[in-house]
Amino acid sequence: MSVPPESAGPPPPPTDDLPPAPVGGMPSHEERQWALFAHLSALLGYLVTGHFFGIGCFLGPLVIWLVKKDSMPFVADQAKEALNFNLTLAIVFAALWIITVATLFVGAVVTFPLGVIIGIAALVFIIVAAIKANEGERYRYPFTLRFIK
């Protein structure tokens, strides 16, 4: 006589190392919050390093990506996106600085206003990305080189 599946024994205990499955494809509140932090950590990096665009701009997204990449796929995606965007910004501002110095600061007539415009646009993009991530949407920054896939 066979044993019905209900009485086959107790279910296995839940494992704490696996993230809970999202309900209806929507990331959990914790995932959305970490994704928000991944985007906003770039702004914190600007403030902490004392530069508006310095090395700190990509350290926050990098740390969040390294810590959460295996346990939270939504956070990993958004942290990579923030990291790629901020690496692209760092390259753009380094190029503007090199052009300024190479032209003996005469090029600053063009590079300084361009840097201000790019900085304001970056601030807007980062805020929009943080809001979208907090709503559970995957945000893609425009004009971004995808270094980390």
pLDDT band at 45 (very low <50, low <70, confident <90, very high): confident
pLDDT in tens, 89-113: 989 989 999 999 999 999 999 999 9
Residues 42/27, Cβ–Cβ less than 8 Å:
no
Q: How confident is the model at residue 3, as a pLDDT?
A: 54
Of residues 11 and 140, which shows the higher confidence score?
140
Alpha-carbon dihedral 121, 126, 127, 132, rounded to 10 degrees: 120
Whole-angstrom distance, CA of residue 72 vs CA of residue 109: 45
Residue 30 neighbours by CB under 8 Å, 6+ apart: 72
pLDDT band at 7 (very low <50, low <70, confident <90, very high): low
Of residues 129 and 149, which shows the higher confidence score?
129
**Mean per-residue pLDDT of the chain:** 85
* Residue closest to 74 by CA, chosen among 36, 40, 32, 37: 32
Could you tell me the residue ranges of all domains in the chain? 28-133
Asked if the model's pLDDT at residue 18 lies above 50, the reply is no
Q: How confident is the model at residue 19, as a pLDDT?
A: 45
Largest CA distance in the chain: 92
